[in-house]
Amino acid sequence: MKKLIHDPVSLSEDIVAISKSLKLHSFINYKEYIKNDLSTEEVLYQLLKAEQYIKDENKYKYRIKNAGFPIIKTLDTFEFDSKRLPDLNKDVVMELATCKFVENRQNIVAVENSGTGKTHLMTAICIEAITNGYTVKFRRASDIVTQMTEAASEKYLSKFIKNVNSCDILFIDELGFLSFDAAGASLLFQIFAARYETKSTVVTSNLEFSKWVTFLGKDEQMTSALIGRLVHQSTVLNMNGENYRVQKR
C-alpha cells in the first residue's frame, strides 16, 4: 500500500475542515494539544477529553435554556438561616440536591408564606438535577393552566400533556397565588395524575394544604385527590418564616 503524501499546509486545512464538518470543536485547534512530551495516544486522549467537555457543556446550556427558568438561582446563594426559616432542615435540602429523588420518581413540595425563598431553593435543586443530566421544565401554575385550556379548546390537550411530561422534573411555581375554576383545577389535576409515580414534580405554594381547596375550584374531593397524588412519596419542605425581601429592605 502506497503511503499518501500530503502538503503540510493542505493537510492542516483539511483536518480543520473535517473537524468543522463533524462538529468536533476541540479538533479544530488540534495543534494546541500536540506537545513533544506526549505520545500519540496521549494527544488523542486530551483531544477527546476536551471534546467531551465541550459537548457536555453544550448539553448543559441547552437543558438550562429549555427549562425556561425566569432567573437562574444556585444553592450556594441560598441563605440557610435557622432564625428566619426555623422549620427548614438543611440536611434534607442537601440530600435532595443529590437528585436521588428523581431516580426514585419522587416529588418535592415547598409550602408556606411568600418571600421565604421557595422558588430560589427549588430552582437551585433543579439546576443540580440539570447538572446531573436530567431535564427540567419550569412553569408558573397560572401559565400552565392557561396553556392547557388553550390546548383543550384546540383539541391537542393529550399531545400537550405528553410533551410537558417528557421532562424528568416538572417545576410548577406559585401554586395558590391565583384561583382556578373547576375546569382549570381539573386540568391541573390531569398533569399531576399523569406524572404520578412515573416522573418527579416540584411545586411551590404560598398556602398550606388545608387551604388548597380555596383556589382549586372549591372542589374538596378533587383537591384531596390532587394533594394525595402529589404528596405520596414526596418530601414536603416547610418554609414558613420571615419574608426575605421585606427583611432585606
pLDDT tops 60 at residue 7: yes
pLDDT reported for residue 241? 83
Q: Which CATH architecture has domain 75-248?
A: 3-Layer(aba) Sandwich (3.40)
Q: Which of 87, 145, 90, 141 is nearest to 119 (CA)?
A: 141
> What is residue 185's predicted lDDT score, i.e. its pLDDT?
95
Least confident of 5-19, 98-112, 135-149, 220-234: 5-19
CB 113 within 8 A of CB 240: yes
| pLDDT for residue 9 | 73
Report the pLDDT value the prediction gives residue 215, as an integer from 0 to 100.
95
Query: What pLDDT, on the 0 to 100 scale, is given for residue 61?
Result: 96
Contacts with 203 (C-beta within 8 Å, 6 or more apart), sequence order: 107, 108, 109, 110, 171, 172, 173, 175, 230
Q: How far apart are CA 8 and CA 196, in angstroms?
A: 61
Residues 15-74: tens digit of each pLDDT:
889 988 998 988 898 888 888 888 999 999 999 999 999 999 999 999 999 999 999 999
Residue range 180-224, pLDDT digits in tens: 999 999 999 999 999 999 999 999 999 999 999 999 999 999 999
- Strands, E, within 98-245: which ranges? 107-111, 136-140, 169-175, 200-205, 234-238
Is residue 1 over pLDDT 50? no
Element containing residue 145 per DSSP (H, E): helix 141-153
Where does residue 154 rank: exposed (0-12), middle (13-18), buried (19+ CB within 10 A)? exposed
- Does residue 100 register a pLDDT over 60? yes
For the stretch 154-178, pLDDT in tens is 999 999 999 999 999 999 999 999 9
Domain ranges (residues) in the chain: 8-67, 75-248
Query: What gap in Å lies between CA 209 and CA 90, rounded to an integer?
Result: 22
Burial of 21 (0-12, 13-18, 19+ CB in 10 A): exposed
